[in-house]
Amino acid sequence: MEMWFVFAGILSLLLCIAHWFYIRRYPSFKGKLPPGSMGLPILGETLQFFTPYTTSDVSPFIRKRMNRYGSVFRTRLVGRPIIISTDPELNHFIFQQEGKLFQGWYMDSFDDIVGKQNVLSVHGSLHKYLKILILNLFGSESLKGRLLPDVEDMTLKHLQLWSTQTSVNLKEAIATMIFDFTAKKLFSYDESKYGKKLRESYAALLDGLISFPLNIPGTAYWKCLQGRKNAMETIKDILEERRASPRTRRQQKDFLDLVIEEMERDECILTEGTALDLLFALPFATYETTSSALTLAVQFLSSHPSVLAELIKEHDAITRERETMESGITWKEFKSMTFTIMVINETIRLGNIVPAIFRRVVKDVEVKGYTIPAGWMVMVCPTAVHMNPEKYDDPLSFNPWRGQGKETNKGSCNFMAFGGGVRLCVGAEFVKLQMAIFLHHLVTKDRWTIMKEGRTIRRPGLVFPDGFHVKISDKN
């Protein structure tokens, strides 16, 4: 009984503290908040939000509150008051008002892991500067000239290697392939030179990126911080070695050379800390989302023979029109892969690999008859838009033909897999290029058999806890 009184006293104290904090933080707010529940003090509804689920549909957490409160509602996650929007028009408005009414923001745990100066969390001129810098590597001109043939060589090499194995965990194999490729393009990473394997340092990131920041050994957050620490040590060693050596001896420059040149410019805003956060974040941003999307695409193609037949038809036509069968993919051919891009977009729509996009409210905003207070966070929920039956007929079905005649390379009200507005993912075309090249060679040169499909779980990001094991063999 005494323990119960102690617990009740602590709970009452927490409620008083939470109420006091709210009054101090929002003393003049007199508007009407969206409906919803803020859950427990401080913790809010965090545990319910992070509960894993297996459906491709909107998470049970979001669906339950949509049914109860409508398309816009409030909650509290990891100590933050948050407005969740599942409304396509409001989401688009939020993206278009970037830097005016809303500002890019991610959970504290995300910034602790990816870095306070990562490109997703910085604002204004620094964000614009970093975006331009990244385009030197992932922009259209670089894709046309340097990356396309290199991505193709990488893909052919690995497909050939995998065809010699009795079974391959496709998700892990693609992730490793893309990670190694990106690390080489970024800073010429050579695993044999360093005691720690860089890829292993990134392995736990997905589980802890959007997690409750509980820094206790064994938690997902703690594992992520350890991974970041190890990876940053390696990347910093590479940066220091490069700065100490004369770069005139290097025949082929990489992204790190460009970064160092920028850092040495007079009055440059690129500090060493920002450069390290950028070099740390880019490998994860490229390999995790693309490997998940490609694995999902192969799953969908395996269970939809009519889609696979149409995809093979498109790529066989491309190879027949070449002067020689050994010719590599050209930029013109990539741009002609209309059905392939429809397959990719439909995979990404159903995959919802980025299930939440966060923004901070700069000043009080009036929307949908409600007021969102300055300082609160808003969470755009792409999944709710992509699974909206008013926007997509039979939204849970895999139907690439639904994208016929539609432009989805840029963000829109109904397709926001790559975000939107000025923060539209700078690597979106690079992702599609990698996927298109992989699918081209997979369906023209190889065939695959599923050995062990495993499960797909969302928590809330998409993961393959059992892997996705296939046997790849040469068609010839």
DSSP letters for 267-290: T----HHHHHHHHHHHHHHHHHHH
Q: Please, are residues 206 and 463 in contact by the beta-carbon 8 Å criterion? A: yes
Name the residue among 124, 112, 50 with its Cα closest to residue 356: 50
Phi, psi of 27 (to 5 degrees): -70, -30
Phi, psi of 458 (to 5 degrees): -115, 130
Whether 224 has a binding-site annotation, put simply, is no
In the 8-state DSSP scheme, what is residue 330? Answer: P
Question: What is the torsional sign of CA 128, 133, 138, 141?
Answer: positive
Q: Please, are residues 26 and 373 in contact by the beta-carbon 8 Å criterion? A: yes
DSSP letters for 351-373: H-SS--EEEEESS-EEETTEEEP
DSSP letters for 3-38: HHHHHHHHHHHHHHHHHHHHHHHSTT--S-PPSB--
Residue 269 and residue 130: Cα distance in Å, rounded? 10
* Residue 472, beta-bridge partner list: 448
Residue 436 and residue 217: Cα distance in Å, rounded? 41
CA 65 to chain centre: 25
Residue type for position 454: G
Which H/E stretch holds residue 462? strand 462-463
Which residues have C-beta within 8 Å of that of residue 67, sequence separation ≥ 6?
A: none
**Residues at the annotated binding site for heme?**
425
**Residues at the annotated binding site?**
425
